[in-house]
Structure 1
Amino acid sequence: MSHRPLRAACIAAVAAVLVTAGPIPAADAEPGASGESVGVLLTRLQGLYQKAEEATEAYNATEVALKTRQDEERRLTAELGKARTALGSEKALLGRLAREQYQGTGGGISPYARMLLAGNPQAALDQRRLAAREGARQAAVLERLARGEREAGTLAGRARKALDSQQTLATRQKEHKDEVATRLKEVERTLAALTPEQLAQLGAREAADTDDAQRRLVDSGRLPTRTGTPTAAGGAALTYAAAQIGKPYVWGAEGPSSFDCSGLTSQAWAHAGRTIPRTSQEQWATLPKVPLDQLRPGDLVVYFPKATHVGLYVGGGKVIQAPRPGAKVKVSPIAANPLLGAVRPDPDGSPLAQFTPPPLPEAAAEGDDTGYSAEEAPESATDAETDAR
């Protein structure tokens, strides 16, 4: 682990804000003054970070839903325009038929009257066929006109409903965005109130926890005994993710200059030619599960009981991830966060016979690893693997 330049930067940045924002509430002002241990401080930070990440993923999900509603509203509006144009054409045709009928009957004499006044039987039959054809033609136009009116009315109702849904989602999106901002401000206040000694203690505790978790996972035999090769798509996703190392975590971001955790994984696979869900929860819920001991490079490793964090497996017990606000995309031990399980975006793909891993920067592993959670890793981390088998 690094010497936590993140927190030092937070202290400097937030301190400037706090000068004008007024005093910090007593509960957050001096978290160590009340005798809190490093473990308690770490747990508090973990809870705040996890709430922020949950709110971030909720915002991401709402943003995806909003885009879907916007696309639907645009599609319905276009269809409504076409329906109204067709309706106008049918009305024009009906008017032309009415004029033709009036003009062809010498001022209003019906085809049947003309048939009765015809000079010979053949002319009468011709007039009768003409009358029948004209009647059928007008009936068809009237039916198309009625159908067009019904279609236009239905589309108008659907367009209004889609617009209402869009406005509701926009409101919900703002609420989620405000919630993320609130959570992050809580983290900033807590960090800004810590002394350099407390920050150093937290850093050491995090490093020790991560090392211990990684050692126990490796010793458990739950990871692959050797690093296999990815599929062509998995290799492309891994190469893309490796190229993003060093870029900052920004909540709600999906590139190209910054990412959040699921923004990185979804974009990596999008650049590999495969569209996957935007959020970590949807990635976990919809993509096929894979046991940890069958991981191959390019697979997605999902964390925390609510599937609020995700990274991309590199091999050798490592993942590329965007850890949390203030950190940068980096290589981390797979056990840096509590494991939920793993999913595979291309279950039908065949591993390559040979694969040369993308080069990683020298500082690829530097910086914070954890995404933080206030909850313990669930027993279901193993259960998920069992289910996947």
Structure 2
Amino acid sequence: MGPGKRTLLPGKRSVLAAVTVVCAVTVLAAPGTAFAAPGPSPTPSPNASSSSPPAPVSNKDLEAVRLKLEKLYHAAAVATDEYNAAEEATEKQSAEIVALAKRIVEGKEKLAELKKRAGAAAAAQYRSGGLPDEAHLMLSDDPQEFLDGAGRVLQGERATKGLLAEMTRTQQDLELYARDASAQWHKLEAGRKAKAAAQKRIEKRIAAAEKLESRLETEEKERLAQLEEAAAYKAQTAWLDSGVLKDLDSKATKEGRKAVEYATAQLGKPYEWGAEGPKTYDCSGLTSQAWVSAGHGIPRTSQEQWKRLKRVDIADMRPGDLIIYNADASHVAMYIGDGAIIHAPRPGRTVTVAGAGSMPILGVVRPDA
């Protein structure tokens, strides 16, 4: 079944097509539930026309589809944040393992050198007849030689103690590095599993959303897009009517302008979950790379951006600031002024300009605070 076609029995265009979308919404209510095949069409009465067009899907039914799509793509966005966080963690853990491996190699080389020096000291004692330095001094008849030798013995004892202490410390360091490396391997494996699980959730939600949309006819898709635009416009209008922009200081910093310029240059590029450019982006991939271009590295995910960046009041918002959306901080956009944002919305969409109040705002953060 290709996009834009309903699931119908061959040769049948019955009134059941009008309620297919509503049935799909009901079936998709539980994540992972498969679409049920439509039942057979009733036998038409002698007066019924076999070529009659299907009944149109009502706006009420399309609104139900819109809300279901919104939930599916929101779930995909949450999973995308989890995937990005797991990817960032595995990269960090891999780097730490490499660093620990270098320390272990260096520690083993140092320990081998210390053992070599200790062996040389033992060999020197053997060559002197196996007697300790103190015994040789006691057998000396020259008082000056005795005094000079006593100083050398004290220096030798200190050097030997220092050598043994350094060998002990090096051995302890090696054991610590080995334990740390083992712990990082366990974390790395856990991160890989979390990343794989998040990827499955993303693909599952997106596939369900695409399947739902594929049941719509072209005209219905157009009406669905109009409903989405109307919902966003209504939310944006309510946000503006609240007077939130009345005393807004919209002067951007130099870094903020650079970040906005970068984000603006990406307009029209496709959304792709997990992507950081330069051809495709997800929401936090766009904002993080925009600020990297401005000379400020920031967290990769929208949730970490919300946790770790400085929060500012909406009334103090300026271009370049990041607006975090939804109660779970699952979406992020860049404020560009005049009540507008640039963001990468969701799969099937491109980087675009939208109203800052068109989605539920959690708060605002400032990367260059």
Normalising by structure 1, we get a TM-score of: 0.79
1:113, distance to aligned residue in structure 2 (A): 2.1
1:268, distance to aligned residue in structure 2 (A): 0.4
Distance 1:304 1:27 in 2: 35
Match of 1:73 in 2: 97
* Preserved CA contact (<8 Å) 2:323 2:335: yes
Distance 1:261 1:70 in 2: 25
Equivalent pairs: percent with the same residue? 35
Which SS does the other structure have where 2:357 is aligned? helix
1:334/1:252 CA distance change after superposition, 3 Å: same
Match of 2:36 in 1: 26
Distance 2:125 2:156 in 1: 9
Deviates more, 1:173-182 or 1:108-117: 108-117
Match of 2:164 among 142, 145, 165: 142
Distance 2:164 2:307 in 1: 51
* Preserved CA contact (<8 Å) 1:60 1:278: yes
Distance 1:87 1:163 in 2: 25
Distance 1:52 1:27 in 2: 25
1:34/1:217 CA distance change after superposition, 3 Å: closer
Equivalenced residues, count: 326
Which SS does the other structure have where 1:252 is aligned? coil
* Preserved CA contact (<8 Å) 1:223 1:295: no
Alignment deviations for residues 260-307 of structure 1 (CA, whole Å, 9 cap, x no partner):
000000100111001111111111122222222322111111111111
1:227, distance to aligned residue in structure 2 (A): 6.6
After the TM superposition, list the runs of 4 or more consecutive aligned residues in structure 1 that deviate by more than 3 angstroms: 12-15, 32-36, 224-227
Give the letter for the 2:62 counterpart: V
Give the letter for the 2:102 counterpart: A
Match of 2:196 in 1: 174
1:60/1:28 CA distance change after superposition, 3 Å: farther
Structure 1 or 2, whichever has the larger Rg, is: 2
1:134-283 matched pairs, under 5 angstroms: 134-224=156-246, 228-283=250-305
Alignment deviations for residues 300-324 of structure 1 (CA, whole Å, 9 cap, x no partner):
1111111111111111111111011
1:207, distance to aligned residue in structure 2 (A): 1.5
Distance 1:125 1:217 in 2: 92
Relative contact order higher in (CA < 8 Å, ≥ 6 apart): 1
1:60, distance to aligned residue in structure 2 (A): 0.8
* Preserved CA contact (<8 Å) 2:115 2:167: yes
1:12, distance to aligned residue in structure 2 (A): 6.5
Match of 1:294 among 316, 320, 340: 316
Which SS does the other structure have where 1:133 is aligned? helix
Give the letter for the 1:223 counterpart: L
Give the letter for the 2:3 counterpart: I
Which SS does the other structure have where 1:46 is aligned? helix
* Preserved CA contact (<8 Å) 1:28 1:193: no
Which SS does the other structure have where 2:335 is aligned? strand
1:28/1:128 CA distance change after superposition, 3 Å: farther
Answer yes or no: is 1:86 the counterpart of 2:86.
no
1:308-327 matched pairs, under 5 angstroms: 308-327=330-349
Q: Give the unaligned 5+ runs of structure 2.
A: 8-33, 40-55
Give the letter for the 1:263 counterpart: G
Match of 2:86 in 1: 62
1:225, distance to aligned residue in structure 2 (A): 5.1
Give the letter for the 1:25 counterpart: F
Match of 1:43 in 2: 67
* Preserved CA contact (<8 Å) 1:227 1:315: no
1:28, distance to aligned residue in structure 2 (A): 9.7
Match of 1:111 in 2: 133
* Preserved CA contact (<8 Å) 1:14 1:188: no
State the superposition RMSD in angstroms. 2.4
Q: Give the unaligned 5+ runs of structure 1.
A: 1-9, 16-23, 348-389
Which SS does the other structure have where 1:256 is aligned? coil
Give the letter for the 1:72 counterpart: E
1:67/1:88 CA distance change after superposition, 3 Å: same
* Preserved CA contact (<8 Å) 1:250 1:325: yes
* Preserved CA contact (<8 Å) 1:28 1:189: no
1:110, distance to aligned residue in structure 2 (A): 2.2
Which SS does the other structure have where 1:100 is aligned? helix
1:122, distance to aligned residue in structure 2 (A): 2.4
Distance 2:130 2:322 in 1: 78
1:197, distance to aligned residue in structure 2 (A): 3.6
Normalising by structure 2, we get a TM-score of: 0.83
Alignment deviations for residues 68-91 of structure 1 (CA, whole Å, 9 cap, x no partner):
111111111111111111111111
Which SS does the other structure have where 2:3 is aligned? helix
Which SS does the other structure have where 1:26 is aligned? coil
Alignment deviations for residues 138-180 of structure 1 (CA, whole Å, 9 cap, x no partner):
1211111111111111111111111221122112111111111
Distance 1:28 1:242 in 2: 45
* Preserved CA contact (<8 Å) 1:301 1:312: yes
Give the letter for the 2:91 counterpart: K
Give the letter for the 1:269 counterpart: W
Match of 1:95 in 2: 119
* Preserved CA contact (<8 Å) 1:224 1:292: no
Distance 1:204 1:72 in 2: 50
Match of 1:11 in 2: 3
Give the letter for the 2:123 counterpart: R
